[in-house]
Amino acid sequence: MGSMLFTLHWFDSIRSGERRAYPYRMETHDDGAQLTENEPDEPETGEPHALPVAELHLHIEGTLEPELIFALAERNGIELPYADLDELRSRYEFTDLQSFLDLYYANMAVLQTEQDFADMTRAYLARAALAGVRHAEIMLDPQAHLSRGISLATCVNGVASVLAGSREEFGISTLLIAAFLRDLTEDSALEVLEQLLAMDAPIAGIGLDSAEVGNPPAKFERLFARAKDAGLHRIAHAGEEGPPSYIIDALDILEVERIDHGIRCMEDPELVERLVDELVPLTVCPLSNVRLRAVDTLAEHPLPAMLAAGLNVCVNSDDPAYFGGYVDDNFAQLKSVIGLSEFDCVRMAANSIRSSFASEERKAELLAELAASGH
């Protein structure tokens, strides 16, 4: 069998179908597959350079582009339940969080080997570098792989092997966060956390994701206490679909340092006041919220009101391969659709850097880069 070439593309906008060349191509041979760099596109004259930001809310499995899903399925001899890319893309019409999660977990079937996890991570970082990302805190869902018979070592080492060289290879400093699935039991999460600690996995913190409603923060009190004890950072999704009380409980019971999403805080003025007073970072994901119908349209997104209230918000991409855009696309649409000002973009870029778990030295370096960026 000869070698096969898959030229990867991503959709900047799934709706418009607009494509941009992918910086990598995957070649599969009988003895494996390899990602190699494509010739860079001619830079478009006059195109502004991306705002330097920290991406703090990113699920690495949510960066699996349709082309990569097909390439990995081919490499691993996995039959996908979609005839072609168009059929897969036709499934990207979500009605709520769960309708997305069903596809997100199903597509993970193509991730089998350390190399698969490494290729996915490398592809994200290549795209993120173009988006202006200079620091990324990346969530991985270990339980979603363990339940498919993929070992912790396979998924953690595959991602971590690329993150270890991300600064040199892509100019992006990175941290890995193990996210736990809130629709599973706390005992399952505790067991996996102990295994991660025992194998000395290079994780900076833990997160809490998956189906929010009906799985309140209090369910994971012991997990977060154990993580604190182990010196790990702590974040949790709250107030995406769940009520404002989940944000309060994530802060008070789980002692999280950041809230992922948090948009529903706007329903509780007292909570908003507290979040402003305590400078609690909220990692907002505008395109995600529209695609998962947490808000009806981008024009109705609460981000401008959150900024006006003085909340510590920043812009993130969540699951960019599924939601029609990376962090630069989120900024671009916020500017074009709701008229977000350059001043507010820079303010949120600074918020993202300050709210990160990077060293003080790295934060100072990134803030200096932002100040010198001409934005």
**Any idea which residues carry the catalytic annotation?**
240
Q: Which residue is nearest to Zn ion (CB)?
A: 318
**Which tokens hold the place of 223?**
């997990």
Find the helix packing angle between 342-354 and 327-338, rounded to 10°: 150
65 binds, among Zn ion, ligand ADE, none (CB under 5 to 8 A by kind): none
173 binds, among ligand ADE, Zn ion, none (CB under 5 to 8 A by kind): none
331 binds, among Zn ion, ligand ADE, none (CB under 5 to 8 A by kind): none
Cα–Cα distance measured from residue 374 to residue 157, given in angstroms and rounded to the nearest whole number: 38
Pairing label, strands 258-261, 173-181: unpaired
- Does residue 219 touch ligand ADE according to CB under 6 A? no
Cα–Cα distance measured from residue 293 to residue 241, given in angstroms and rounded to the nearest whole number: 9
Of 122-130, 241-249, 292-300, 314-322, which segment contacts Zn ion by CB under 5 A? 314-322
How many other β-carbons are positioned within 10 Å of the β-carbon of residue 20? Answer: 12
Contact residue for ligand ADE among 25, 134, 219, 237 (CB under 6 A): 237
97 binds, among ligand ADE, Zn ion, none (CB under 5 to 8 A by kind): ligand ADE
* Residue with Cβ nearer ligand ADE (143 or 288): 288
Q: Shortest CA distance to 124 belongs to which of 196, 73, 193, 176?
A: 176
Per-residue binding letters, 145-184, with ligand ADE (x by CB under 6 A): ----------------------------------------
Contact residue for Zn ion among 114, 318, 328, 344 (CB under 5 A): 318
Cα–Cα distance measured from residue 92 to residue 94, given in angstroms and rounded to the nearest whole number: 6
- Does residue 116 touch Zn ion according to CB under 5 A? no
Instruction: Say which residues have a Cβ less than 8 Å from residue 255's Cβ, sequence separation at least 6.
Output: 224, 228, 234
Q: Which residue is nearest to ligand ADE (CB)?
A: 209
- Does residue 28 touch ligand ADE according to CB under 6 A? no
User: Cβ(346)–Cβ(309) under 8 Å?
Assistant: no
Contact residue for ligand ADE among 65, 116, 119, 209 (CB under 6 A): 209
User: Cβ(33)–Cβ(119) under 8 Å?
Assistant: yes
- By CB under 6 A, the count of residues binding ligand ADE is 11
Phi/psi class of residue 324: alpha, beta or left (left: φ > 0; alpha: ψ in -120 to 50)? Answer: left
Q: Shortest CA distance to 318 belongs to which of 341, 284, 350, 360?
A: 284
- Does residue 319 touch ligand ADE according to CB under 6 A? yes
**Which tokens hold the place of 42?**
């001619």
- Does residue 59 touch ligand ADE according to CB under 6 A? yes
**Which tokens hold the place of 7?**
């030229």
Of 82-90, 108-116, 193-201, 317-325, which segment contacts Zn ion by CB under 5 A? 317-325
Residues that bind Zn ion (CB under 5 A): 318
Contact positions vs ligand ADE (CB under 6 A): 59, 62, 97, 104, 209-210, 237, 240, 288, 318-319
